[in-house]
Amino acid sequence: MSTRSRLLPWPGPNGQSAYLLGECGPGSHLWRLADEMEGVLLRMGTELVQHGRSLAGDPKADARQLRYTVFRLAESLTDAHRIAESRKLRLEELERMERDEAVAASDSGVKREERS
């Protein structure tokens, strides 16, 4: 397991970005918990969008209901953005690791050829 960081799908106590740091990787308990939470947040967002569409088409919906739904939709969009940012950072890290491994393998091959 390598030392990695991961932007978590929930904010820290003061709304700041929260990270999982240290010897945690995709197999760790906290990593899997973050994966599960991402799924929960995205499913909740999907349900909220469906509810918002339904409410927007309801002529009996009052301003209080609409404001509440808009507030929840904004929260859900914030969650989705945080999840997308986390996944982007993980993909960039994976690409860096693959490049580093390719360079190391290439350097290793050059050294073998020089010894021959």
pLDDT tens digits for range 55-73 = 999 999 999 999 999 999 9
Phi and psi torsions of 20, nearest 5°: -95, 120
Summarize the confidence of residues 20-46 as an average pLDDT: 90
Give me 26's structure tokens: 């995709």
Output the pLDDT for position 5: 84
What pLDDT, on a 0 to 100 scale, did the predictor assign at position 1?
Answer: 40
> 114 pLDDT exceeds 70?
no
What local confidence, expressed as pLDDT, does residue 27 receive? 82
Better-scored residue on pLDDT, 104 or 77: 77
User: Is the pLDDT assigned to residue 116 strictly greater than 60?
Assistant: no
Quote the pLDDT of residue 83: 97
Is the pTM higher than 0.95? The answer reads no
Between CA 116 and CA 111 the distance in angstroms is 9
For residues 18 and 37, the answer to whether their CB atoms sit within 8 Å is: no
The arithmetic mean of pLDDT across residues 94-111, rounded, is 83
Q: State how far the Cα of 48 lies from the Cα of 38, in Å rounded to an integer.
A: 15
CA 48 to chain centre: 19
CB 42 within 8 A of CB 81: no
